[in-house]
Amino acid sequence: MLKKLNSEQGFTLTELLIVVAILGILVAVVLPNFVGLLGGAKTNAGSAELNIVQTAVDAKLANTSSATTTAITTATTDMTAFGLAPTYMRSTATHGTYTVDTAGKVTQASYP
């Protein structure tokens, strides 16, 4: 029985602590980069959505042969208030909130 115990293989506590320390260092290096990517992605998504809403307003103005539109000064996510959905946009709601002036300039008030 003594011979069986001596032949068992395993990791020492020191080896396990070294592996945990290496993993901790890798997480400390990679995590800030990952968080930075998420922030950049949200910024890009907000910019893209603003471009989509602005393009829809421009298409509406061109289609109706208008130079002006009704100003919406209260920020909203409801694109039916702009008269854009469903004709000029597929969805009736956006993630961000937007306003539009009489010239058709869309401004993004907020984006989550």
Average confidence (pLDDT) over 43-53:
91
Choice among 48-52, 89-93, 97-101 with the minimum mean pLDDT: 89-93
The CA-CA-CA angle for residues 46, 49, 53, to 5°, reads: 140
Longest dimension (CA), the chain: 95
pLDDT at res. 5: 57
Q: Where are the domains of the chain?
A: 18-110
Enumerate residues 6+ apart whose C-beta is below 8 A from 84. 53, 56, 57, 60
CA distance linking residue 86 with residue 99, whole number of Å = 18
* Confidence label for 97 from pLDDT (cuts 50, 70 and 90): very high
Name the phi and psi angles at 41, rounded to 5: -65, -40
Q: Model-level pTM greater than 0.85? A: no
Average confidence (pLDDT) over 61-67:
90
